[in-house]
Amino acid sequence: MDKDNQHVAGKRVSVFFLTAFFSLLFVAVSYNAYTAEYTNSVSATATVALAQTATGSANWLSDDFIVVSVLSDPFATEPQAVDSADANIAPASCRANIAKVVCLVNPTTNWATAPYRKCQPTTTNYAAPIEKAYDVMPVSQQKMFCHLKRIFIEKQLSIGTAYAMPYVSRLSGAVLGGIVGMRQSVLDNPYSLDTVQSWKEQLNFGNDPSVVSVKSGMPVVKTSTTRGQTDLLYYIFSHEFGHLFDFANNLNNYGTANSFSNFSWTATSSDTRGSSPLPNENFRLRSSLCYYACAPGAAISPTKANQNELYRTVVGSSTNNFVSIYASKNPREDLAETFATRAFADQLKTTFTYNTSFGQTYDAIAHYRSAALAGKRTFVDNFFKTKYRYPGQ
């Protein structure tokens, strides 16, 4: 090659690398703006943390909802379950995929690399109880199992009982797939739905977030169905699938009406950015709710007045449109809780009551069916009548 050609070739290489550099810079800036939008949408009471590595980044949108960006799909080379185009049919591959994606994992200190963890050996068939829950789910939820790349069984988990993790391409922003994780202890121990939901409610009153237990002198949840242990997993997956449906379909789009509804989900209870509830949906004790992140001495005192006020103001109200106390945390938990309550009320025919330690009872299913929740029920019902997307579609 002569000197002129070498010079031209050198310039071309320089231009190529400069172009590539600025392209990646643009993508990084775009992604940071993208994650900032979701971060800003979370209630001030939610825990939000952003971890970045050379592999990608992790953005907590709520207590149990984390979005991870990746430079490459960690599961791209694995055989994928094949879903059917028919919205009314869940192919056998969706159920079969459960055993393929269940994965016992060690705890992580860096959620940006969480999808890349190796499965640990185990002799426990963790797929079996999940398959049992799958068998009584509606087709819309059964088909979600075709789009899960992992169901992580976490040896240790301090953020709750479970989480949803959609993961996206850091380069294009496309949703590549979905992951659900849950505490190993939830599967290893015969916890009932009553026990776990009671423990969750009691966290606001000072119960220990690290150990699932029910204490006296605090409110409890009572439910009844004929499905036993399945009810707990049914709730967990219904709630976490609500997060995955939300993210894959941009349901919390902050002020813009969805194509199947004349209003935005966020606007039903919150300001246009989802940062705080509307004045008529707010309540005095909401700022004291802490769930899995209660600081020492910050829990609500479990007095008769406080217990009664909290549940009367929300579940016992004829006007408040949060389906549960936890739903009031932010619009994303509101949507996931509504998805889960819909599953209980319409599919499992579950009874579900909050009971203070002083004898007051508040019916969660009656509240869900009340006029106050009519708009939200219609929103979710209409969503499932549309051509909705699963993570990765």
For 66-77, write each residue's pLDDT tens digit: 999 999 899 999
Confidence tier at 105 by pLDDT (50, 70, 90): very high
Q: pTM for the full model?
A: 0.85
CB 329 within 8 A of CB 319: no
The whole-number pLDDT of residue 54 equals 55
**Whether the predicted pLDDT of 262 surpasses 80:** no
Confidence of residue 229 (pLDDT cuts 50, 70, 90): low
Average the pLDDT over each of 96-105, 259-268, 361-370 and give the range with the smallest value. Answer: 259-268
pLDDT score at 207 = 94
Mean per-residue pLDDT, 27-56: 40
Residue with tokens 């294009």: 172
Alpha-carbon 224 to chain mean position: 24
For residues 321 and 268, the answer to whether their CB atoms sit within 8 Å is: yes
For the cut 90, the answer to whether the pLDDT of residue 25 exceeds it is no
pLDDT at 393 over 50: yes
Burial of 226 (0-12, 13-18, 19+ CB in 10 A): exposed
- 79 pLDDT higher than 90: no
Residue-wise pLDDT for 126-152, tens only, equals 999 999 999 999 999 999 999 999 999
- Rounded to the nearest 10 degrees, the angle between the axes of helix 127-134 and helix 92-101 is 150
- 272: confidence class by pLDDT, cuts 50, 70, 90: low
pLDDT tens-digit readout, 276-312:
888 888 999 999 999 988 888 889 999 999 999 999 9
Would you state the pLDDT for residue 75?
93
Q: Which residues pair with 105 in a beta bridge?
A: 154
Cβ contact 214:191 at 8 Å: no
Predicted pLDDT of residue 87 = 83
Environment class of 287 (CB within 10 Å of its CB; exposed 0-12, middle 13-18, buried 19+): exposed
**Reduced to 3 states, what is the DSSP secondary structure of residue 203?**
helix
| Residues in CB range of 131: below 8 A, 6 or more apart | 95, 98, 99
Label the pairing between strands 220-224 and 175-183.
Answer: unpaired
Inform me whether the pLDDT recorded for 334 exceeds 80. Answer: yes
Q: How far is CA 346 from CA 138, 239, 377, in A?
A: 10, 15, 11
Average pLDDT, stretch 56-85?
A: 90
Residue that the structure tokens 């979701």 belong to: 38
Question: Over the stretch 188-213, which tens digit does the pLDDT of each residue have?
Answer: 998 999 999 999 999 999 999 888 99
Q: How many C-beta atoms surround the C-beta of residue 87 within 10 A?
A: 15
